[in-house]
């Protein structure tokens, strides 16, 4: 698995990094469900994750993204999940809500999740366009609000060995639908947005250095492409005593990030299953001259699904 991760990293290192249509997360290792429906239920219980990201701080109208996701494993075979996120960039706002289902199949030493997702995408443009020149001079820019909604779907495969490794491949926005709407009140301009199909490859490995779970090194990668541009995130996290973690992530030709977090399970029994993480991006591109970076917060809670005990009563045939 170590060789696979290294080889995959070098494979994608030759591609230039550009942003695709989907929102990006630095703490993507805690956010697999949003890009791969096959991962639904992979934690074996119920998990809920809240993420909030402010990108390119210092810019007016900078990207700001918030997401909630939850998933669960039912009867050891069926994974279900929900993802809702809202993204705002300038006058453009995006709202996505989708449901995921995965079937878990035992395969070798691990489990293969075969998943699909279905949902809706709502895209809207406001009328407060900020520009040096008068935006009304361009008839393609809406001078009134516009909004449109469309259907969306995706597929994913996710193979994992619990507490050891994972690898996944997925494709989102399979229908490649278009969102179109004219400006409200007969205003100029219109919303005309075509979704591009996206492809994701992810992999990660947990290396218990001394086989005592005191120090665990967690390298991971996430490659994403829309067939026109490709981006790669490579991350290494060190976790101490399953309590705190810290690491670094590099997004090719875009940013380097520092990550840190804590698992509250060992802090207090009442906080068992609760994790908090934070990351800070420093832009390595030309944006770094004008931006103070990006800040992202993560709150995650997981718990096992406890089955009620089955009461068994034995009756002797002598007493009927």
Task: Place 305 in a pLDDT band, splitting at 50, 70 and 90.
Answer: confident
Nearest to 26 by CA among 217, 206, 278, 244: 278
Question: In which band, very low, low, confident or very high, does the pLDDT at 275 lie, cut at 50, 70 and 90?
Answer: very high
pLDDT at 10 over 90: no
Given a cut of 50, whether residue 5 has pLDDT beyond it is no
Quick one: pLDDT at residue 18? 40
Q: How do beta strands 244-251 and 255-263 pair?
A: antiparallel
Q: Could you tell me the two tokens for 96?
A: 């996505």
Distance from C-alpha of 165 to C-alpha of 205, rounded to nearest angstrom: 4
78-89 and 64-74 strand pairing? antiparallel
Higher pLDDT, 193 or 128: 193
pTM: 0.84
Q: Which residue has the higher pLDDT, 115 or 163?
A: 115
Neighbour count for residue 21 (Cβ, 10 Å): 15
CA 8 to CA 91: how far, in whole Å?
37
Q: How confident is the model at residue 289 (pLDDT cuts 50, 70, 90)?
A: low
State the pLDDT confidence band at 147, using cuts at 50, 70 and 90. confident
Answer yes or no: is pLDDT of 306 > 70.
no
pLDDT digits (tens, 9 = 90+) for 18-59: 445 688 899 999 999 999 999 999 998 999 999 999 887 777
Q: What is the mean pLDDT of residues 274-291?
A: 83
CATH number of 2-303: 2.40.160.40
Q: Report residue 210: phi and psi, to 5°.
A: -105, 10
Q: Kindly report, residue by residue over 110-138, the tens digit of the pLDDT.
A: 999 999 999 999 988 877 766 666 666 66
Rounded average pLDDT over 237-244: 95
Q: What SS3 class is residue 186? A: helix
- In this predicted structure, the answer to whether residue 179 has a pLDDT above a threshold of 90 is no
Average pLDDT, whole number, for the chain?
Answer: 84
Task: Tell me the pairing of strands 165-172 and 190-194.
Answer: unpaired
pLDDT of residue 6: 38
């Amino acid at each position: 698995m170590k060789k696979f991760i290294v080889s995959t990293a070098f494979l994608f290192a030759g591609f230039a990094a550009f942003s695709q249509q989907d929102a990006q997360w630095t703490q993507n290792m805690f956010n697999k469900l949003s890009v791969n429906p096959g991962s639904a239920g992979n934690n074996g219980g119920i998990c809920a994750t809240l993420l909030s990201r402010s990108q390119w701080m210092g810019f007016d109208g900078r990207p700001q993204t918030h997401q909630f996701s939850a998933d669960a494993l039912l009867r050891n075979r069926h994974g279900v999940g929900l993802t809702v996120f809202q993204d705002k960039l300038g006058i453009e706002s995006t709202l996505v809500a989708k449901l995921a289902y995965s079937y878990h199949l035992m395969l070798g030493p691990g489990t293969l999740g075969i998943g699909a997702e279905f949902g809706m995408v709502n895209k809207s443009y406001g009328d407060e366009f900020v520009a040096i020149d008068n935006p009304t001079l361009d008839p393609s820019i809406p001078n009134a609000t516009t909004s449109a909604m469309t259907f969306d779907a995706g597929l994913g495969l996710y193979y994992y060995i619990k507490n050891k490794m994972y690898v996944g491949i997925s494709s989102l926005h399979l229908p490649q639908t278009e969102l179109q709407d004219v400006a409200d009140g007969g205003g100029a301009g219109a919303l005309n947005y075509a979704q591009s199909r996206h492809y994701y490859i992810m992999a990660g490995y947990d290396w218990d250095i001394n086989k005592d779970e005191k120090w665990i090194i967690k390298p991971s990668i996430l490659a994403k492409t829309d067939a026109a541009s490709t981006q790669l995130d490579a991350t290494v996290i060190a976790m101490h005593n399953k309590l705190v973690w810290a690491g670094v992530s590099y997004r090719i030709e875009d940013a380097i990030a520092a990550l840190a977090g804590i698992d509250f399970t060992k802090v207090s029994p009442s906080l068992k299953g609760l994790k908090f993480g934070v990351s800070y991006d420093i832009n390595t591109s030309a944006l770094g001259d004008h931006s103070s970076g990006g800040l992202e917060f993560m709150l995650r809670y997981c718990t096992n699904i406890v089955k009620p005990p089955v009461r068994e009563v034995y009756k002797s045939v002598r007493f009927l």
